[in-house]
Amino acid sequence: IEEFYNTTDPIWTYSTMFASSSPISCLVDVTANITRSYLYMDRYIYFNETRFKLPLKGVLYKDDANRSKKTLIYDADSPPGAQPLDLEQLLYQSADDSCGVIKFFQHPGVLRFDLRLRNCSLAMGPHPNCSRYFAEVYRYHEKKSPFPKFENRTLYKPECQAIFKS
């Protein structure tokens, strides 16, 4: 995760699949800082057409190779011991770091899969391997019970760039 987020380029949720309809659009993360243990970022999102800027802190969980695939996301101002907002897991990352597939879980029972792209990759669209992996995740969960039916939705539109103004 830290390799993917180690950029000043905004990272957009290009497409998402989830089990319930949600009034979200234009979701983007902007990395502020990464340390050995934490990822600090601002998440911009439209919810019911209202713009929100959420300062977030991710706790990085390292594997044996000292790389993070998972992060617990907290409100950046939350006190120690606070409940996390969600868990995000990097399932796939392109070799050029231009895109990734992220599993998003929020207790109790909100499951979502995102295809995220760096801003510099938007004109070309997602790397074919990212698109393929995202489609495989969709097909896999489409057939699995007890998973509810997933809806695949494109969140990014060129107008989303205006989210940084205001």
At 121, which CATH number? Answer: 2.40.128.20
* Residue whose token pair is 């969600």: 86
Report the run of H or E that residue 95 belongs to, with start and end.
none
d(CA 71, CA 79): 17
- Reported as a single tens digit per residue, the pLDDT across 39-97 is 999 999 999 999 999 999 999 988 877 778 899 999 999 998 899 999 999 999 999 99
Please compute the mean of the pLDDT values over residues 129-138 and round it to a whole number: 95
Q: Domain residues for 140?
A: 2-164
Place 128 in a pLDDT band, splitting at 50, 70 and 90: very high
Decide if 104 contacts 111 (C-beta within 8 A).
Answer: yes
Please compute the mean of the pLDDT values over residues 142-152 and round it to a whole number: 71
Helix-strand-coil percent breakdown of the chain, rounded to 5?
20, 50, 35
For the residues of 101-150, what is the DSSP string, one character each? EEEEEETTTEEEEEEEEEGGGTTT-S-HHHHHHHHHHHHHHHH-SSSPPP
Q: pTM for this structure?
A: 0.91
Domain count, the chain: 1
Report the run of H or E that residue 153 belongs to, with start and end.
strand 151-154
Determine the residue type at 124: M
92-120: b or e for each residue (b if 16 or more CB lie within 10 Å)? bbbeebbbbbbbbeeeeeebbbbbbbbbe
